[in-house]
Amino acid sequence: MYAIVKTGGKQYHVEPGRWLLVERLPVDDGATVSLEPLLYVDGAEVVDGDGLQNVNVQARVLGHERGPKLRIVKFKPKRGYRRRNGHRQELTRIEVTSVTLGSGHGTQAALAPATPSEAPAAPAIPAEAPAAPAIPAEAPAATAIPAEAPAAVAIPAEAPAAVAIPAEAPAPTAPDPVLVDPPTEEASDGT
């Protein structure tokens, strides 16, 4: 028989008599704590989901400890950046004393009713409870568009599809560049 429990954001496989280190629990040494079960297995019987309400996992706190020293080193070459830091995690050592399945041990039928007639009835609503406001049957629409409003921007049928340049108009051209003759050696009298 074993159970999977959750504590400190982690999940652990526990059996009666087994001890383990978990994240620090806010209880004194020797105190008894109840752990949250996620799964219970006893031979062929597996309990999870709604049936976990009947599972009870008890553990005794043996002591509070600190984990091993972890060294953190940050280094960036050629920049003179060196940082050294350390960390020790706060832990609690617990011993699992019992893993039990409450009422209905041995059968799944006791954990969940087999027929709807055995299911507990829902509590009746008292007569004094305020009723929900009624919604009128002919409620106006939130945003109504009048029928005579234009749907969108309409393009007249006689308008051309694209603007065309008339064929007889000359195409625009760039102005003629002004040409200046550079002085040549033949024109100079320096020979």
Q: How confident is the model at residue 119, as a pLDDT? A: 47
Paired sense of beta strands 55-66 and 81-87, if any: unpaired
pLDDT in tens, 74-128: 999 999 999 999 999 999 999 999 999 886 444 333 333 334 444 455 555 555 5
Q: How confident is the model at residue 116, as a pLDDT? A: 42
**Maximum Cα interatomic distance, the chain, rounded to a whole number of Å:** 128
Q: How confident is the model at residue 107, as a pLDDT? A: 37
Which parts of the chain sit beneath pLDDT 50? 104-119
Q: How confident is the model at residue 14, as a pLDDT? A: 96
Nearest to 5 by CA among 29, 40, 30: 40
Residue 127 burial by CB count (10 A; 0-12/13-18/19+): exposed, middle or buried? exposed
Q: How confident is the model at residue 35, as a pLDDT? A: 95
| Angstrom distance (rounded) from CA 14 to CA 5 | 7
